[in-house]
Amino acid sequence: MLTLLSNADIYAPEALGVGHVVLGGGKILYAGPELPKLDPALV
């Protein structure tokens, strides 16, 4: 299962601003300012 957190305050460890975070398999798969392009087979 994938989880999308939109408009999240991202820190890594310094502040990176507001963006999107995708979680899956207990890991952070993506963190960034743009929505990631996901393969429709994953959704």
Count the domains in the chain.
Answer: 1
pLDDT score at 42: 72
Sign of the CA dihedral with 22 first, then 28, 30, and 31 last: positive
Backbone angles phi, psi at 40, to 5 degrees: -55, -25
* Domain coverage including residue 10: 2-42
pLDDT score at 41: 86
Entry pTM? 0.79
Looking at the DSSP assignment, which residues form a beta bridge with residue 32?
Answer: 20
pLDDT score at 7: 96
Block means of pLDDT (10 residues each) for the chain, 43 residues, are: 94 95 95 89 75
Give the strand order in the sheet containing 27-32.
2-11, 15-24, 27-32
d(CA 19, CA 28) in angstroms, rounded, equals 13
